[in-house]
Structure 1
């Protein structure tokens, strides 16, 4: 679905627009950490220590050297065992939420990159955030995965986080030359007119190449179609946030200090 790619490139885009952004890497593979050029070998303090050992989030967050205002809480391979270790801990579903609430550095956005399954790591992300951002690959199977994800969101909202809602859907890997991509895009826009961003992310070799250099596409090739698309998508997200914050009918949606905790979409 391009969820990690979307997380890091939206985060970099928002930071380049002047926001202070934190990426929390909750995937044991650590792909978001790799893409942001953050060291995440086993000895590095990571989000695992925050969830399992209650280490303060401030002690694991690292600045991203290529993009001012962008920060990352890395994932290490230790996170692979966190699902089992969390089972016996008190308030296991809300440990990330409490860590974020105790984090005192000013932030405008928090983007959480989830693993591709509904385990305790993903549940922690959905409890910590008010919004879910879903990247949808413009292929048929993505629509089937979307239905399951929405059921999971409803489940978490009903039992653990009443504020949780799908705020943003982003079409990724869009190839306008194929009829299937257009059909999937049309169907998603029909059913989720309010949530789908106008901007879609095209298939791009530059987007795929960037992580191998420890970069986002914004620093790897700023003039590429992929970089420009993510910049425009970030602009849409920022403008939506401003509109919600200043709309008195939706004042309850805004986070304190304009902070938006976003759980990144999963398959």
Structure 2
């Protein structure tokens, strides 16, 4: 695969659960498609919520990211279409939860996803978004090793920044040992309530600590973002005029506009 056709691979990662990670994977992917990009989401979370949220039921998943990592299945056998043209997904099942135990002693265990993507036909895509599990597990490390950069959803609540320090250390370790090109694409504030003083305080603290690593776009608390997965579609397909959908469209535009690297405080 020639370099000019190589997609940008982003790991959407936060070891803390409930921060809007999967919501961001689905809706940022859909928003990028609305801006003319071709997107593949790789579901690397054993919960498989990104797969469900894009309408791929458990009984329809067949070959999944479990087979991709554990059985050397080709990525082409895993990819599924979604209701949104130009948006595809490599689905996951709970089988992935055995990865740490089953592959923990394997010598190349942190390179399994990178190796799977290296030989894959990715020229059809502009972005690959990896939905990582809410932990710093072997699956998350595989995601980081395979990625060009990390996008971190950060919930606008008390203690939000505390868990971020461990993720930053993990990113630095991966950069030093397995993926020297790994960078932090940015941190996006999620579940932001502009009526809440705490949300504003978290934003102020985050910007003071991380500077321009924080995206200008903030993702609000929005009922449409919560409702859309039950219909198996993105919020942009469910209600494109909702505040949540508009925020992800703004985030996608901001992501595409970020051309120069930013100084990282790690």
Above 0.5 in TM-score? yes
2:97 corresponds to which of 58, 75, 80? 80
C-alpha separation in 2, matches of 1:57 and 1:86: 19
- Distance verdict in 2 for CA 1:43–1:113, change over 3 Å: closer
Q: How far does residue 105 in structure 1 lie from its aligned partner after superposition?
A: 3.6
Any idea what SS the aligned residue of 1:115 has?
Answer: coil
Determine if the alignment matches structure 1 residue 89 to structure 2 residue 106: yes
Greater shift in the superposed pair: 145-154 or 124-133: 145-154
The 8 Å contact of residues 61 and 92 in structure 2, kept in 1 or not, is answered as no
Structure 1 Cα separation of the partners of residues 120 and 257 of structure 2: 25
Cα distance in 1 between the residues matched to 2:134 and 2:240: 29
Alpha-carbon offset, residue 42 of structure 1: 8.4
Q: TM-score, normalised by structure 2?
A: 0.88
Which of 32, 37, 46 aligns to 1:19? It is 37
Match of 1:103 among 111, 120, 143: 120
C-alpha distance in 1 between matches for 2:158 and 2:174: 26
Calculate the TM-score normalised by the size of structure 1. 0.87
Let me know the Cα RMSD of the aligned residues: 1.4
Q: Which residue is 1:259 aligned to?
A: none
Structure 1 or 2: larger helix share?
Answer: 1
> How many pairs does the alignment contain?
242
Partner of 1:221: 239
Structure 1 ranges of 4+ moved more than 2 A: 39-43
Counterpart in the other structure of 1:133: 151
Unaligned stretches of 5+ residues in structure 2: 1-18, 262-266
Distance 1:43 1:193 in 2: 41
The alignment partner of 2:212 has SS state of coil
How big is the shift at 1:90?
A: 4.0
Which shows bigger deviation, 83-92 or 126-135? 83-92
Aligned partners of 1:23 and 1:110 also within 8 Å: yes
